[in-house]
Structure 1
């Protein structure tokens, strides 16, 4: 935190895929710019480097975004693994299969999430972005004067643009670790990539419209020696009376399992140091027998709320929300990481226009977000509507239109 400057042209709140992709896109555009204004970019991330995150599956189309970000080569060099397809028990008692062999872009991907995040962070820093790890955003307020000095402006070519931007700069309060007093940083442009809670948008009194809220318990574990041959590389999905569950093999002989349901089910899954979760998974007809064959070690459990929602306003003149902050999806869509990367690239386009045009900036980002969310709502409704076996169950009754 002591290395932070008092002012940045762009501050990105959140260092997940969306935030890091935005940093890469902005700095890459700056490096390739003929005017070369040396735009300063800070990424603020509350987690420490290497801390495990949820989300590990990506559709085949992700390779197109990785090429645009300039990290496709690094991605293929890391130990991510392809996924042959889905095996699901959904809407019927017997499994159905959806293989990726017919997709022209190839298979979907099961990520080594730690390596994936580190790849994006390394690329962001190599382009000149700064990352403040273990740092929390705790508040902000708009500025109405132009007294701020742009610490990154070392040449006269961008004096006018910088002054225009600073007239509406934001003051951000940041805390590093257990630090008692926050550090103040000003930003000409703020990108909210703080996840589904959209923390920066909240400071602007913009709150997400929530369509649905689910709760998930997730287990990460390692395959014990001798258990590797009993695991499947397919993504396994199964509907149950009280929700749905999911399991897949990850790189480095890891397994992730998840149970998604209502809030009141979570305490049952936590019973007996999460023995309730293990029992719930074992009781399923398709995933259960497969899970019981696995010998697992080093299991860790995580619970989290899952929102389906969208911000009514996702951008202003000198701010925007991207990724889960702009719109959050049910994990049944398996689009979270792809969405984050694509929004990061869009953020690069908007910031480039803001730097060049100031108050005259125009953007189609809001229209794109609303269109994307409508498509998501339609697809999600169709997916849940396929399951008609438990119409009287609270979980399915609330989600079958």
Structure 2
């Protein structure tokens, strides 16, 4: 099978790129790992600032139709003991964000490109040929061979393609996240369904997942002593006893779903080469505090689609170099703004979690 582009990974970045390439008439194949178990729902929220981008990409209707609901603001206790109400009413041109059902949104987008998708269960190999093309071998019980001019890493934080290309990454912190699904309650002192609170050992967020569940996520640094107290939901309320409102949401119940993992800021030392590029979390991963992870994935996917089109039409050797230069600049701007956000919280500046930002 010969295509112009081979995309590996079918998260939000890879699927968005595939849809955009299809609209441009650029042939592609999308390879993805066969997943047996259902994904852990995180209930991400897109801010109003993401709506114009979705509209520009002609994806707004897809995201709206598959969203849990529109959101009109959130509460935050950050930098003081007073709750701040961030209302989207004054935002323009959109006065709402979206609480998205990412799994359902991706399934809808996948239907547009389903005939171009190949799954693998036993990994893949990359072979570079002398004439510049790339061959990817998708391993199942047999081997499927795909040849393309451009290879795209959309494998998320795993950076599976970059690892095989021996491209290193720079990790800027050791932030980790622990999430659990808990029964949904309406807090008597809060209006919005999203609440963020910082505390001595890190920070947390409670967000409505659907009509019956909330998701609570705690962020701290790898190795922090609070992590040992979060291994069982029965200990969460005690571990977060000094928080103002976070602890109120923690209702003990059976069959709690847990998930833990990295939430750090990192960037590939190279996000593009002569005939390959990375996008989404494979290019750069953001701290969830920025609330721009999915927005960034969408923006980079659009940038990658334009870059690939230019590369194929003009054969300009500098096209991918310019893409990498743009990605590195975006990440540096993000790092600066992210650190400024953390430095707004001065109440615990001498504590283990917070001192590194000062």
Does structure 2 conserve the Cα–Cα contact (< 8 Å) formed by 1:13 and 1:137?
no
Deviations 1:168-226, CA, capped at 9 Å, x for gaps: 122324334xx5x6544333211111112322112222111111121110112454xxx
Residue in structure 1 matched with residue 166 of structure 2 by the alignment: 205
Residue in structure 1 matched with residue 299 of structure 2 by the alignment: 342
Moved more, 101-110 or 53-62: 53-62
The 3 A distance-change label for structure 1 pair 268 and 188 is same
Structure 1 unaligned blocks of 5 or more: 1-5, 31-37, 145-166
Residue in structure 2 matched with residue 107 of structure 1 by the alignment: 96
2-side partners of 1:244 and 1:95: how far apart?
Answer: 14
Deviations 1:267-326, CA, capped at 9 Å, x for gaps: 51443x44333543454212212x04x686753100001221212211122110001111
Q: From 389, 394, 399, give the equivalent of 2:347.
A: 389
Matched, 1:86 2:74: yes
Structure 2 unaligned blocks of 5 or more: none
Q: Aligned-pair RMSD on alpha carbons?
A: 2.6
Please report the TM-score for the alignment, with normalisation by the length of structure 1.
0.80
Rg (Cα) greater in structure: 1
Residue in structure 2 matched with residue 246 of structure 1 by the alignment: 205
Deviations 1:91-123, CA, capped at 9 Å, x for gaps: 112212221111012122211222222222223
Residue in structure 2 matched with residue 12 of structure 1 by the alignment: 7
The 3 A distance-change label for structure 1 pair 54 and 78 is closer
Q: From 12, 17, 39, give the equivalent of 1:22.
A: 17
Matched, 1:190 2:176: no
Q: From 351, 375, 381, give the equivalent of 2:333.
A: 375
1-side partners of 2:240 and 2:143: how far apart?
Answer: 44
Q: From 113, 117, 129, give the equivalent of 1:143.
A: 129
2-side partners of 1:229 and 1:258: how far apart?
Answer: 17
The 3 A distance-change label for structure 1 pair 251 and 232 is farther
1-side partners of 2:31 and 2:124: how far apart?
Answer: 15
The 3 A distance-change label for structure 1 pair 82 and 300 is same
Residue in structure 2 matched with residue 123 of structure 1 by the alignment: 112
Matched, 1:320 2:277: yes
The 3 A distance-change label for structure 1 pair 353 and 218 is same
The 3 A distance-change label for structure 1 pair 249 and 321 is same
The 3 A distance-change label for structure 1 pair 316 and 358 is same
3-state DSSP of counterpart to 1:233? coil
3-state DSSP of counterpart to 2:156? coil
The 3 A distance-change label for structure 1 pair 83 and 317 is same
Deviations 1:335-373, CA, capped at 9 Å, x for gaps: 111111111111211221222233546243223212211
3-state DSSP of counterpart to 1:391? coil
Does structure 1 conserve the Cα–Cα contact (< 8 Å) formed by 2:42 and 2:209?
no
2-side partners of 1:46 and 1:342: how far apart?
Answer: 26
2-side partners of 1:113 and 1:222: how far apart?
Answer: 20
Residue in structure 2 matched with residue 264 of structure 1 by the alignment: 223
The alignment of Structure 1 onto Structure 2 pairs a total of residues equal to 354
Q: From 264, 271, 292, give the equivalent of 1:307.
A: 264
Please report the TM-score for the alignment, with normalisation by the length of structure 2.
0.89
The 3 A distance-change label for structure 1 pair 251 and 124 is farther
Residue in structure 2 matched with residue 158 of structure 1 by the alignment: none
The 3 A distance-change label for structure 1 pair 268 and 109 is same
The 3 A distance-change label for structure 1 pair 49 and 27 is farther
